[in-house]
Amino acid sequence: MIYRLYAPGDFAQLYAIEEVCFQPPHRFNRHYMRQLVSSARAATWVAEESDRLAGFAIVEWTQEIGGVVAYIQTIEVAPEWRGRGVGSKLLQRVEESARLASAKAIWLHVDAENRPAIALYQRDGYLCEGKVDHYYGRGRAGLIFAKDLPRELAAEAQLDPA
């Protein structure tokens, strides 16, 4: 598996994964997805095997009063690749991109019923900091997870392409 930054030629495969992973109204539309992947204040990482995308992750960062904060827009793994560590590797990549953007913290929303994703975030040191009722539709809560990103790690971190 190769992990690399998104290239414009990846869009069709990337959006095909979006269509498998999310149903309307929770799916990003093509226009918004194109904005995300082309933003100068975001990084999109893809996982690729034999010229096919297995998953992707998008992180954005914003300047706030206390400094730069990053938000993980999405981490998506094609069903046939789940349970093989792809999501974990993508999470590492977006965290490093956030550190390089000087983010002091990173956060995300996750469906309260998505146990595998919650376990991934908890294993990586994220803490649940809140809950938003009906975030993913009527009766489906979203949990808010966050993690501090120490700056000294950015200089030491090396991205392993495997």
Taking the C-alpha atoms of residue 44 and residue 41, their distance in angstroms, rounded to an integer, is 10
| Residue 49 domain-assigned (yes or no) | yes
Spatial strand order in the sheet of 2-5: 2-5, 42-49, 52-64, 67-77, 103-111, 142-148, 127-132
| Residue 32 domain-assigned (yes or no) | yes
Residue 33 has pLDDT above 80, yes or no: yes
Contact 162, 1 (CB under 8 A): yes
Q: How far is CA 1 from CA 100, 129, 152, in A?
A: 23, 33, 28
| Residue 144 domain-assigned (yes or no) | yes
| Residue 162 domain-assigned (yes or no) | no
Total domains present in the chain: 1
Query: Assign residue 137 a region: left if phi > 0, alpha if psi is -120 to 50, beta otherwise?
Result: left
> Which CATH number covers residue 102?
3.40.630.30
Instruction: Quote the domain boundaries for residue 35.
Output: 2-156
pTM above 0.85, yes or no: yes
pLDDT at residue 16 in the model = 96
| Residue 47 domain-assigned (yes or no) | yes
Beta strand pairing status for 127-132 and 142-148?
Answer: antiparallel
Average pLDDT over residues 56-83: 94
Tokens of residue 26, six digits = 């929770």
| Residue 62 domain-assigned (yes or no) | yes
| Residue 87 domain-assigned (yes or no) | yes
| Residue 130 domain-assigned (yes or no) | yes
Which pLDDT tens digit goes with each residue over 81-103? 998 999 999 999 999 999 999 99
Query: DSSP letter at 137?
Result: S
